[in-house]
Structure formats: structure tokens, C-alpha cells
Structure 1
Amino acid sequence: MTESDMGLRERLVDVGVALLATEGLPALTLREIARRAGVSHGAPRRHFPTHLELLSAIARRGFADLAERVRAAHAPGAAGPRTHVAALARTYLEFALDNPGMYELMFRHDLLESGHLGLRETSLPLFRVLAELVGEVRPGADARRVAGALWANLHGMAQLWRWRSLQLAVGDDDFGALLDAVLLAHLGPEGGR
């Protein structure tokens, strides 16, 4: 692949990321990405034979961004595992609220058919970090299941918060208090670790 081909490939992903940020998942078509990149509607197919492959490349960019944020929030040795779970949860929620279009795309494994396009290798390491930390906080528990339940709760919290449903239901905008309640529900009371 020539340098100009690599440049076009990256530009198509850049345009997709920007389009996703401004207009959301429904606007993410090959034709619209090509138009905004200033190329013919067939040009993206040289780099991404299917729409699915382009969507997956865009999602990988989101996972890389989220992973970098998680790494920055997770300084091993600086605090106990419960503090790290809380930092990871807050980072995840902030990412979801700051990037709703990307967040929606990233976790649509049904849409992306991630097993075929390498997204599992991008997304599962983040889940493993969470599961390992949960295992440290709750030794003896099935860490993967507890982490899965926590992740599902965080995912729902992000979605319902964005729709303002949680604020209405709980009667306030105290995001931190709600996050603390989620962590308590899944990790148990503080004390041991």
C-alpha cells in the first residue's frame, strides 16, 4: 500500500470519526464519508471492501481512545483496586457521555461482527482489566460475571443519564452519588480493600 493509499485510509477513518461525533451512527454511510473526504463514492472500497470494515476501523479508533483514557486513570500501585475500579468506571462513563456516537458504535458488536474484524482484540483487554480489578476487590467471586454485571450497569447508567431519565427518576443530578451506589451494589461495602 502506497503512502497516499495509507493517507486516504486514515482520512476516511478521520472523516468517519468526525461525522460520528457530529451526526451520530445513522449518518455513517460509505457514500457520506466519501463525499466529506472529497473522493468518489467508490474510493473507500479500495481500503474497506465493506461498510462493516470501515465501521470497525472507526470503532477501533474509539477503543484506542478509551484504552488510553483508562491507562491514564489507572496508575498501578498508587491506590487499591477499589479506587481503580471507581476510576475506570468514571472514565468509561465520561467517555460515553462525551462521545455518544462513538460509544454507540463501539459496543454494537452485533453490527460490527467483531469476531471477523479484529475488534475482540481491541475491546476485550479493557474488560479483562475491569475483571481483574473486580477479582481483587471481591476475591472468591466470579470476577468475570461481577465485572459483566457492573459493565452492564455502567452502560445503562450512561445511556439513561444521556436521556435524562436517571435524573428524573432519582430526583437530582448527583452523578457521583449514583456512581457510588452502582459500585456499592457490585463491589459491596468498602472496608476490606
Structure 2
Amino acid sequence: MTTPYHHGALPAALLQAAEAILEREGIGALTMRGAAREAGVSHAAPSHHFGDLSGLLTALAASGFVRLREHVETEVAVAEPGRSAHLTALGRGYIGFARASPALFQLMFRSERLDWSNPVLSTAGAAAFSFLTLRETEGAVPIASHGIQSLMTATARWSLMHGLAMLLIDGRLGAMSDRVPGADVDTLIEHVLTCLVRQEM
């Protein structure tokens, strides 16, 4: 039996269902029919709202970028005053999101599965990555409005944060920390984020 949803709530319910499948079984198991079944709606419902699987994945990735931005902003908001704490908070927010939603995080960077010409995705992605330009006393500014130096800084930040997040998702950090007595993944993450701070101080 299908579940009745208000028309405006159905897309959100389908995205939630799609993410549940993604995190539980991986992207290979995510289909339009599977998302409909998970949400308890008719098989035609996802096509009506998202067109095809690429449209569903694109919408799901867009929601992920919105949440990534919110995750980073939350960490920055509670950080102690000072540039060091601010930069560490940026990294904690990025990596924290990746740890909380690893399959969604990986989908967000699977460009071959996503339609980046979709304005919802391109806008959400740009807004999320503007956090790379966040300064302690200013809001985020679109990267395109900065000069080459700011672009280099943003790229360095992203390289470190994203590389660390991917190593964590792939289980590589655990394998490394296991080789060092007294070390754990969280301690290793904090030390790597300290490197981010030092390179900018």
C-alpha cells in the first residue's frame, strides 16, 4: 500500500528514501523503483518529480551540498575566537559531514552521475564551496570574486580537507593510526588540521 503524501512533501520523502538506500546498500542498488518502494509510493512518483535516475541523483547531491554548508557553518559558529580555531572549525565541519554521510559525500563528487547544468545543483555546490574562502571576521565570498592568491588558498584548504575525508571514508586513517601506539583516528585528524592552520599562519 502506498503512503499518501502532500505533493510538496513527496520529493523530500523520495530524496530521504534514496539516501537511505545509498547509505545502506551503495549507489549500485539505488534505482527509481527502489526509491519509490523505500518511500512507500507508486513506481511512477520518482519519474514525475525527477525525470530519471540522473535527475534523482542530482537532486540528492544538491541536498548534500546544502547540508555540507550547514555543517561547516555550525562548526564555525561555535568555534573559539581566533584564526587558528576558525580554520580548524572549517576542517572539522567538512570532515564531520563526510563521516556522518559517507555515501552521500562520495556521490556529490561523482560528476559522471550528476547533471551539473542543473541550476539547483550548481547553485548549491557553489554556495557550499564558498566556505573555502571564509575568513574569521567576514562571511563567505564567492571564489570567483577573489584573486589568484585567494584561489590558491582555497584550493590548498580543499585539497587537505577532501583528501583527509576520503582517506577516512576508505578506512585508510584507521589502518595508519593502528600502527602508532596510543594514536586514534580523531587524534590524527586534529593533528592534520593543525597542519592546515600552520600553512596559513
- The bucket for the TM-score relative to the shorter chain is 0.7 to 0.9
Give the equivalent residue in structure 2 for 1:10.
Answer: 12
The percentage of aligned residue pairs carrying the same residue is 33
Structure scoring higher RCO (CA < 8 A, sep ≥ 6) equals 1
Q: Deviations over 1:128-172 (max 9, x none)?
A: 2222439x9xxx972222322321222222222233323334534
- What stretches of structure 2 of length at least 5 have no aligned partner? 139-146
**Partner residue in 1 for 2:33:** 31
Distance 1:164 1:147, change over 3 A: same
Question: Alpha carbon RMSD of aligned pairs, Å?
Answer: 2.9
Deviation at 1:50, TM superposition (A): 2.1
Judge which range, 144-153 or 97-106, deviates more: 144-153
Distance in 1 of aligned mates of 2:44 and 2:16: 17
Distance 1:133 1:25 in 2: 36
Distance 1:21 1:164, change over 3 A: closer
Q: Give 1 or 2: higher helix fraction.
A: 1
CA contact (8 A) 1:64 1:122 kept: yes
Distance in 2 (CA, whole Å) between partners of 1:177 and 1:118 is: 36
Aligned partner letter, 1:21: E
Q: Residue type matched to 1:55 in 2?
A: L
- The Cα of 1:112 is off from its aligned counterpart by 1.0
Distance in 2 of aligned mates of 1:101 and 1:74: 24
One-letter amino acid of the structure 2 residue matched with residue 45 of structure 1: S
Q: Is the 8 A contact 2:22 2:103 kept in 1?
A: yes
Partner residue, 1:81: 83
Q: Offset at 1:174?
A: 4.3
**Counterpart amino acid of 2:154?**
A
Equivalent residue in structure 2 for 1:165, among 156, 159, 172: 172
Question: Aligned pair 1:21/2:23, yes or no?
Answer: yes
TM-score (ref. length: structure 1): 0.79
Q: What's the offset of the Cα at 1:56?
A: 1.7
CA separation in 2, counterparts of 1:152 and 1:11? 33
Q: In structure 1, how many angstroms separate the alpha carbons of the residues matched to 2:17 and 2:51?
A: 17
Paired residues in the alignment total 184
**Alpha-carbon distance, 1:17 to partner:** 2.0
Distance 2:117 2:39 in 1: 28
CA contact (8 A) 2:55 2:115 kept: no
**3-state secondary structure, aligned to 2:7:** helix
Q: Which one-letter code corresponds to 1:146 in the other structure?
A: T
Give the alignment's TM-score, normalised by structure 2. Answer: 0.76
The alpha carbon displacement at 1:178 in A equals 4.1
Q: By how many angstroms is 1:78 displaced?
A: 5.2
Structure 1 spans left out of the alignment, 5+ residues: none
**Which of these residues, 106, 113, 129, is aligned with residue 131 of structure 2?**
129
| Counterpart check, 1:153 vs 2:160 | yes
CA contact (8 A) 1:13 1:54 kept: yes
CA distance in 1, matches of 2:188, 2:11: 43
SS for the counterpart of 1:60 is helix
1:175 corresponds, among 186, 198, 201, to 186
Relative distance call for 1:182 and 1:110 in structure 2 (3 A) is: farther
After TM superposition, where is structure 1 displaced by more than 6 Å over at least 4 residues in a row?
A: none
Query: How much has 1:183 moved relative to structure 2?
Result: 4.4
